[in-house]
Chain A
Amino acid sequence: MHQSIVVSGFGGQGALFAGQLLTYAAMDIGRQVTWIPSYGPEMRGGVARCTVIISDEEIGSPIVRNPDVVIVLNNPSMEKFREELKTGGVLVVNSSMINLPAERQDIRVFNIPGNDIARGMGDVRMTNMVLMGGMLAANPVVPLAAVEQALRDHLPERRKHLVEPNIQVLRRGYREVANY
């Protein structure tokens, strides 16, 4: 097993954190992992993204040209990664904010109204977790339970009150795709 996953959105949409959470979950169940952010001279409102690699073996390159899976949270990310996604790859789309079409027949596309679901469950800032839940249903790279456990284990003490709401939102996103 060797998989590359990109999470991409506006700064503030939680793309980097969602990727980190997945990385923690995979590490905790014994996988090899790397997490690498794009760290260019980004401005407020610019695109923030990270690449996560999860593997059974030692990881060589931490970056890829054509990722296996992409979670896109906004239109600029969609524009970039609908082209770069590998043939046969999985594209998880935040349809609340993205109106661009995927324009490809050789990939699997899952549209999830992330902002709407997160807002409906109490906080739009949990959009990233809706999409992460959906990705895990479309592409079970790690079990949902491992990501839930990673939330419990790795959120700092002052954020512990956010664990339960985030788990609920993760599960909701998961069901959204499981029932697709």
Chain B
Amino acid sequence: MTLPKSKSTPESAIEKKPIPWHIVFFLGPALLIYLTFSVYPLLDTLVLSLYDEQKGQSSFVGLQNFITLISDDNWSSAFWNALANNFQFFIIHMLVQNPIGLLLAVLLSSPKLRFSGSYRTFIFMPTMLSVVIIGFVWQLLLSPIWGISENFLYHLGLDHYFDAWLGKESSALITLSFISVWQFVGIPMMLIYATLLNIPDDIVDASVVDGANPMQTFWYIKLPLILPTIAMVSILTFVANFNAFELIYAVKGALAGPNFSTDLMGTFFYRTFFGFQLQEGSATMGAAVATLMFLIILVGIMLFLFFVQRRIQRFQF
């Protein structure tokens, strides 16, 4: 492609360029909304976390909130517990949700599959439902009192494995992770599916002509081409998991029971910021928790960018 020839003569090039009002006009509104509703609250949260509020009087306390959060037993045990749970939640998503998403995408993109449009819609459907509905439906399905799970397992001869999964400390978080995986598996599937459709047929044809079997075509041709998408899916999973809140709140409430075994950073933040039952909320301490969440996500993404993203090769067709 050749660049269009500049129309300007040497004289006019020396002249001052007029202010590009049209750029201001087009970017302005979006920028204003972004600054007001995203950047300002973020900065304000960071600032708020450095203050303490007692009886309506706020005072600057530096990093005291963070020190309390990490060193005071009352706070730190809850904080580390929430963080550890959050990593478990994330790892389950990475190990279950994304591989299944990939598998589904590969199956869907197979030209031999009939009704692929219907499958795509059905698998994506839960993602579009409200988390509250998902939480309610799964609670009913898994309920030892009204649920159908036990009967279902009975017909498979597995009923003695049935338990009150959502109520046991050992299984509640894993169960909730699987519910979340079930709901959101459509997103990695869609993203990877779209990338797979973009792979030019001639590359795949060439590999077949060269004698590659379908597995080899997948491993040596398709997978390298969708790696950037998988990397992006991982980042999205990371950010979303460390901001996760709704499902836990909908199913287990803000106390994230039993015994805080399903507590994530989001629910921990909620209890700290808004308070719970007789525990009073603290905006400043809540802001400190929110700031730590922000930092954890920031560091996670930066590590990812430095060590993974830079090494991924991109291909242009």
* A and B held together in a complex: no
